């Protein structure tokens, strides 16, 4: 039973046709979210990844792409199929931490490589780290830590913090508090998927805070920012990049202007690789790339760099080649910490309007060469 | 907590309650008149929001966008009623649940197919944006006040429509005795299409009004659908009055639960735990309320007693 | 005319043969798909008892599926971490033995069905649908926000739990286990239908007054059916968790309740063969449609709609030409 990528996924299909399945020596399985409310993140991940694969022009790589519908059991089923039936060498593409937790431990235990384009939960960075697991994006806490560090630099001393009540939300507030030195004017958990924040905005107004940190990814962030702007509260906001991503900024509109957010990448990051990436992405897909697209692009380039150096049939050598991270990251300097998560700078961006399009520009650096808090918990035998 | 803050939170609960009423009214009407459970009601809410966002982007007029949302969702409702729903009236609830579950799949992915995967932009018009100062020094968003007003106006209009007009008499007759209205020579098929389109239009209007301060994206209809079901079950299915009471009860419980529970827990535990546990309990509050009311009154607050 | 018995045995045999053929042809993923179908069918056997025979349209059966899943997840997690569970002064060691896990899953979900049933059965009709949905949402939100066992992240179990004498990591052996349980549950339900309990339950659905006149309280029959139904679906949940080596609150979601209901209706509500036919057809559709078009949910929706509108009695009805048992 052979299945190649979906016909709709032109890049993968074209590549498979070009390569002919017989010639493919390396098989990559991409599991990502391509339907439902979270589809924009998966679409960008896929497009960024496939752009790099296409640019490489290699005919010995086949990418199988499948939609996980953001459901953990779907993701597990697809991973099983890719491992058992498609016999892929590398898995990648998962957007959400809970799906990663469902797929990664058993995938790496079966000897497959997993390169994370986004989700990087603490469990997989600490005690659950694995020689075959590489997070190319960040460690989940990083952007929140950077927000805490930035709050100190900006002189905030009484911040109101807020996140949805689920593990990533709890990690977000913990991450913020790890480096933040001021007081907390309030600490609030909202419902996952909540759409109305009137009650929390009233609390923020009444709390006497001097600033607000929030982690509300996707649609939750859109709702909150529109309502916050409309409520006329003028406290400065700070948050991780997820609520200010290229894919959703247009939906927030002017309500996001001027807000500071932390990210390890930005469209205007000044390096050769990034300029080329942004131009190529725009030319190919006719829109600006998002953080997810950048992470997908870097992940594919890391994979390509390792394939140039080692044979994937020799896991030991291939692992070493991955660990060298010898590729031109769109983020500039990029190395791996001992637990195989990035060591990288994390920037502060500001939302601006440029030629009628809302986007971000870098205004400062929140943390330099940040690794992550779980390096010491990881006891990989190497 | 100051009195002003409590008052503001009550307003917030009221606002979410009246918007919920717009959703619940159509759902309860359709059930009362046609005996149909429509899981796809949330999809019509989504259709309203997407139509409004498209029209607002094309014309720049918010009022035109609202009118288009109402008309677009009503039209979508009428089409769906003609093609699918009318075949379900004499089926059991089981078939209705499955068929309208299938409609959700079609609507959601169809919308994504047409509009793409990225959320759309829809914002408060300048003349409704920003806060106003209420007595007692409360700063409250003008748009949310407008939502409360619009919701109450629609509720009153619906009350008049059903209580005072010919169409309303027919609708009420339909609730009580289907054979009778057929015997009276009323075109029952047209009446059903009309009721369904009316419910769909209200859902679409709610989608546009609420979508303006939330995120217009695929899947936005499902959470609100579940809330609307909770609402009509609490109020008593088929009862417009019940839908209004249920909507306000759910709106207030949902809003105030999230404020009160974490604070109450603060008395017995540390802030981080209180925040997390309180939020967990608050997210379950409306469902517990619904279960409690049903155990107490098995057909809801205003529902018809079984014989 | 094909009898229900032949159809049921045929459907089960076909499922078993597909798995065996795939095993021989070295297509382990097809075996996994067949296992998924068998587990979903088992969940549907549970719901079918309440829904088809008892007339209890439960839109909250994911509660039991999820509880079964978490029974597996929590027990195996404690065993994996070598941390006994502490409930007050009690210390309970975790376990990775399937029979023990199954017993707990059945007991916990049966108990939950008893409590939910006691409250929910005070209502009827559409109110019953909605109150079961509400209980499902309560469990879902609780599981998402309760941090002790992973919250929304769920729990990963690295090694599939064991069964004496078998290598459960071998897809075909694990399939065999799930298949045997499915066959046993189907047999149990077939027996119940013929027993006085099943006959009375069926009568209580069609003419409750007559049952009451015969001195039997219909509500007690329904409650008993609901408990057995929940326990069977809970067992399926434990197997599903073992198939994925993972549990998460998604197992409690109302979409999953909807899907279990889809299996039942697609196959033929109230039919003995319905759950197997429905679950197998759904898994096959999900698998093949996914490869056809990026927006394949539209096709799935159209197919389901077609079944409801034009094929009353589901697949079993189409095959036997009768829409009712």
Q: Mind listing the pLDDT tens digit for each residue in A124-180?
A: 998 889 999 999 999 999 999 999 999 999 999 999 999 988 878 888 999 999 999
Residues A157 and A67 in one domain: no
Residue contact B9–A173, C-beta within 8 A: no
Nearest CA in chain B to C125: B93
Dump pLDDT digits (tens) for C119-164.
889 888 888 988 898 899 889 988 887 777 877 778 888 778 888 8
> Residue A205 pLDDT > 80, yes or no?
yes
Residues A259 and A274 in one domain: no
> Residue B218 pLDDT > 50, yes or no?
yes
> Residue A23 pLDDT > 60, yes or no?
no
Q: Of C27, C36, C153, which is closest to A101 when you measure between CB atoms?
A: C153
> Residue B208 pLDDT > 90, yes or no?
yes
Residue C325 belongs to some domain of the structure: no
CATH number at residue A79: 3.40.50.2300
Task: State the chains in contact with A (3 or more Cβ–Cβ pairs under 8 Å).
Answer: B, C
Dump pLDDT digits (tens) for A87-111.
899 999 999 988 998 899 889 988 9
Of A69 and A260, more confident: A260
Residues A198 and A57 in one domain: no
**Rounded average pLDDT over A73-93:** 90
Binning pLDDT at 50, 70 and 90, where does residue A294 land? very high
> Residue A40 pLDDT > 90, yes or no?
no
pLDDT of residue C34: 95
Residue C288 belongs to some domain of the structure: yes
Residues A239 and A362 in one domain: yes
Q: Where are the domains of chain B?
A: 3-217
Residues A216 and A93 in one domain: no
**Gap from C311 CA to chain A (nearest CA, Å):** 28
Binning pLDDT at 50, 70 and 90, where does residue B305 land? low
Residue A125 belongs to some domain of the structure: no
The total number of structural domains in chain C stands at 1
Give the CA angle between residues A184, A187, A192 to the nearest 5°.
Answer: 150
> Residue A14 pLDDT > 60, yes or no?
no
Residue A207 belongs to some domain of the structure: yes
> Residue C197 pLDDT > 80, yes or no?
yes
Binning pLDDT at 50, 70 and 90, where does residue A272 land? very high
Q: Among A360-369, B77-86, C148-157, name the one with the lowest average pLDDT.
A: C148-157
ipTM higher than threshold 0.90: no
Distance, CA of A84 to CA of C34 (rounded, Å): 14
Dump pLDDT digits (tens) for C215-274.
888 888 999 999 999 999 999 999 999 998 889 898 999 889 999 998 998 888 888 999
Residue A375 belongs to some domain of the structure: no
CB contacts of B295 in chain C (<8 Å) are 119, 122
**Gap from C279 CA to chain B (nearest CA, Å):** 15
Residue A337 belongs to some domain of the structure: no
pLDDT of residue A289: 94
CB neighbours of C251 closer than 8 A, spacing ≥ 6? Answer: A73, C62, C65, C66, C69, C70, C237, C240, C241
> Residue A217 pLDDT > 90, yes or no?
no
CB contacts of A76 in chain C (<8 Å) are 244-246
pLDDT of residue A15: 45
Q: Among A13-17, A101-105, B122-126, C318-322, name the one with the lowest average pLDDT.
A: A13-17
Window A:39-98, CB contacts with C under 8 Å: 66-67, 71-73, 76-77, 80-81, 84-85, 97-98
Binning pLDDT at 50, 70 and 90, where does residue C281 land? very high
Instruction: Calculate the CA dihedral of residues C28, C31, C37, C39 and round it to 10 degrees.
Output: -90
Residue contact C293–A7, C-beta within 8 A: yes
**Rounded average pLDDT over B129-144:** 85
Residue A45 belongs to some domain of the structure: yes
Residue contact B220–A199, C-beta within 8 A: no
Residues A39 and A103 in one domain: yes
Of A171 and A29, more confident: A29
Nearest CA in chain A to C292: A6
The total number of structural domains in chain A stands at 2
Least Cα distance to A36 among B112, B141, B207, B36 occurs for B112
Token pair belonging to B135: 């007595």
Binning pLDDT at 50, 70 and 90, where does residue A3 land? very low
pLDDT of residue C312: 76
Dump pLDDT digits (tens) for C5-48.
889 999 999 999 999 999 999 888 899 999 999 999 999 999 99
Q: Of B98, B106, B295, which is closest to C265 when you measure between CB atoms?
A: B98
DSSP per residue over B207-259, as a string? HHHHHTTS-B-TTTHHHHHHHHHHHHHHH-TT-HHHHHHHHHHHHHHHHHHHH
Residue B141's H or E segment, with its range, is strand B138-141
Residues A352 and A231 in one domain: yes
Residue contact B215–A218, C-beta within 8 A: yes
**Gap from B211 CA to chain A (nearest CA, Å):** 9
> Residue B251 pLDDT > 50, yes or no?
yes
Dump pLDDT digits (tens) for B265-303.
888 877 777 777 787 788 888 888 988 888 888 888 887
Residue A15 belongs to some domain of the structure: yes
Residue contact C57–B295, C-beta within 8 A: no
Residue contact A192–C291, C-beta within 8 A: no
Residue contact C130–B288, C-beta within 8 A: no
- Domain boundaries, position C54: 4-320
pLDDT of residue A381: 52
pLDDT of residue A34: 87
Residues A114 and A99 in one domain: yes
Residue contact B94–C57, C-beta within 8 A: yes
Most confident of A50-54, A310-314, B158-162, B234-238: A50-54
> Residue A11 pLDDT > 80, yes or no?
no
> Residue A359 pLDDT > 80, yes or no?
yes
Residues A161 and A251 in one domain: yes
Task: State the chains in contact with B (3 or more Cβ–Cβ pairs under 8 Å).
Answer: A, C
Residue contact C301–B104, C-beta within 8 A: yes
Q: Among A215-229, B21-35, C141-155, C174-188, name the one with the lowest average pLDDT.
A: C141-155
Percent of chain C scoring above 90 in pLDDT:
43
**Rounded average pLDDT over C172-194:** 94
- Domain boundaries, position A42: 10-119+270-330
> Residue C96 pLDDT > 90, yes or no?
no
- The residue with tokens 């027993």 is C195
pLDDT of residue B168: 82
Report the predicted TM-score, pTM, of the whole model to 2 decimal places: 0.82
Residues A229 and A351 in one domain: yes
Residues A204 and A314 in one domain: no
Residue A126 belongs to some domain of the structure: no
Q: Among A6-20, A149-163, B117-131, C154-168, name the one with the lowest average pLDDT.
A: A6-20
pLDDT of residue B291: 83
CATH number at residue C39: 1.10.3470
How many residues comprise chain A?
Answer: 382
**Rounded average pLDDT over B157-173:** 83
Torsion angles phi and psi, residue A375, rounded to 5: -55, -45
Residues A232 and A202 in one domain: yes
């Amino acid at each position: 039973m052979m299945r190649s990528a979906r016909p709709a996924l032109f890049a993968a299909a074209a590549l498979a046709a070009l390569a002919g399945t017989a010639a493919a020596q390396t098989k990559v399985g991409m599991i990502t979210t391509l339907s439902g409310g979270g589809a924009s993140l998966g679409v960008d991940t896929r497009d960024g990844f496939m752009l790099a694969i296409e640019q490489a022009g290699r005919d010995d790589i086949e990418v199988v792409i499948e939609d996980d519908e953001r459901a953990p059991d779907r993701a597990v089923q697809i991973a099983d199929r890719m491992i058992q039936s498609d016999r892929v060498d590398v898995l990648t593409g998962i957007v959400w931490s809970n799906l990663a937790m469902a797929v990664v431990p058993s995938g790496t235990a079966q000897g497959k490589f997993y390169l994370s384009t986004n989700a990087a939960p603490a469990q997989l960075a600490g005690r659950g780290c694995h020689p075959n697991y590489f997070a190319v994006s960040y460690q989940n806490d990083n952007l929140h830590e950077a927000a805490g560090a930035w709050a100190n630099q900006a002189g905030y001393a009484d911040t109101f913090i807020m996140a949805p009540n689920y593990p990533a939300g709890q990690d977000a507030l913990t991450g913020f508090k790890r480096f933040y030195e001021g007081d907390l004017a309030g600490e609030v958990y909202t419902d996952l998927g909540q759409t109305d924040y009137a009650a929390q905005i009233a609390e923020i107004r009444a709390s006497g805070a001097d600033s607000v940190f929030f982690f509300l990814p996707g649609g939750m962030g859109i709702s909150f920012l529109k309502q916050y702007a409309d409520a006329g509260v003028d406290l400065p906001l700070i948050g991780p990049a997820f609520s200010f991503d290229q894919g959703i900024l247009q939906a927030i509109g002017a309500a996001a202007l001027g807000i500071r957010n932390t990210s390890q990448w930005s469209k205007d990051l000044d390096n050769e690789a990034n300029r080329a990436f942004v131009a190529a992405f725009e030319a190919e897909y006719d829109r600006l790339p998002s953080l997810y697209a950048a992470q997908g692009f870097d992940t594919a380039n890391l994979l390509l760099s390792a394939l140039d150096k080692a044979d994937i049939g020799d896991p030991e050598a291939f692992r070493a080649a991955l660990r060298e991270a010898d590729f031109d990251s769109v983020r500039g300097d990029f190395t791996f910490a001992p637990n195989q998560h990035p060591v990288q700078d994390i920037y502060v961006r500001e939302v601006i309007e440029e030629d009628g399009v809302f986007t971000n520009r870098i205004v400062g650096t929140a943390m330099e060469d940040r690794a992550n808090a779980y390096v010491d918990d990881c006891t990989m035998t190497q | 907590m100051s009195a002003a803050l409590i008052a503001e939170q009550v307003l917030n609960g009221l606002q979410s309650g009246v918007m919920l009423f717009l959703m619940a009214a159509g759902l309860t009407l359709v059930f009362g008149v046609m005996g149909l459970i429509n899981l796809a009601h949330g999809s019509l809410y989504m259709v309203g929001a997407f139509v409004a966002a498209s029209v607002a982007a094309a014309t720049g007029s918010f009022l035109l966008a609202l009118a288009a949302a109402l008309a677009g969702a009503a039209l979508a409702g009428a089409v769906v009623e003609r093609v699918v729903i009318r075949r379900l009236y004499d089926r059991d609830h089981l078939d209705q649940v499955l068929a309208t579950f299938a409609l959700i799949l079609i609507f959601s992915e169809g919308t994504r197919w047409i509009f793409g995967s990225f959320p759309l932009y829809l914002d408060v018009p300048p003349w409704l944006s920003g806060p106003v100062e209420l007595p007692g020094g409360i700063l409250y968003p003008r748009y949310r006040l407008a939502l409360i007003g619009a919701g109450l106006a629609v509720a009153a209009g619906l009350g008049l429509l059903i209580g005072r007009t010919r169409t309303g008499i027919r609708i009420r007759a339909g609730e009580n005795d289907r054979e009778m209205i057929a015997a009276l020579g009323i075109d029952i098929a047209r009446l059903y299409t009309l009721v369904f389109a009316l419910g769909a239009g209200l859902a679409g209007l709610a989608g546009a009004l609420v979508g303006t301060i939330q995120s217009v994206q695929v899947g936005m209809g499902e959470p609100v659908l579940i809330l609307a079901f909770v609402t009509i079950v609490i109020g008593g299915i088929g009862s417009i009055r019940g839908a209004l009471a249920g909507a306000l009860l759910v709106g207030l419980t949902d809003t105030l639960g999230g404020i009160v529970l974490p604070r109450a827990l603060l008395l017995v535990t540390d802030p981080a735990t209180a925040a997390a546990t309180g939020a967990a309990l608050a997210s379950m509050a409306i469902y517990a309320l619904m279960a409690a009311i049903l155990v107490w009154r098995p057909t809801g607050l205003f529902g018809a007693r079984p014989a | 005319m094909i009898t229900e018995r032949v159809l049921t045995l045929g459907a089960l045999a076909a499922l078993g043969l597909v798995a065996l053929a795939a095993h021989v042809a070295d297509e382990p993923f097809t075996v996994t798909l067949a296992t998924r179908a068998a587990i979903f069918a088992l969940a549907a056997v549970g719901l079918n008892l309440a829904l088809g025979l008892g007339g209890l349209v439960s839109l909250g059966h994911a509660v039991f599926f999820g509880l079964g899943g978490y029974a597996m997840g929590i027990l195996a997690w404690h065993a994996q971490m070598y941390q006994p569970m502490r409930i007050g002064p009690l210390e309970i060691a975790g376990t990775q033995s399937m029979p023990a896990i199954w017993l707990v899953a059945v007991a916990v979900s049966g108990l939950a069905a008893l409590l939910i049933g006691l409250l929910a059965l005070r209502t009827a009709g559409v109110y019953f649908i909605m109150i079961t949905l509400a209980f499902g949402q309560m469990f879902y939100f609780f599981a998402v926000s309760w941090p002790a066992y992973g919250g929304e992240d769920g729990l990963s179990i690295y090694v599939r739990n064991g069964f004496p004498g078998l290598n459960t990591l071998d897809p075909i052996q694990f399939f065999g286990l799930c298949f045997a349980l499915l066959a046993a549950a189907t047999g149990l339900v077939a027996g119940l239908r013929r027993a006085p309990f099943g006959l009375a339950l069926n009568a209580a659905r069609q003419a409750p007054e007559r049952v009451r006149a015969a001195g039997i309280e219909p509500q007690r029959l329904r409650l008993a059916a609901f408990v057995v139904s929940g326990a069977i679906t809970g067992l399926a949940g434990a197997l599903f968790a073992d198939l994925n080596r993972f549990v998460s609150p998604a197992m409690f979601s109302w979409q999953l309740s909807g899907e279990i209901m889809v299996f039942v209706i697609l196959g033929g509500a109230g039919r003995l063969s319905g759950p197997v036919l429905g679950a197998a057809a759904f898994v096959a559709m999900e698998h093949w449609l996914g490869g056809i078009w990026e927006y394949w949910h539209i096709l799935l929706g159209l197919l389901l709609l077609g079944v409801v509108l034009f094929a009353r009695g589901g697949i079993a009805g189409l095959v036997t030409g009768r829409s009712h048992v």
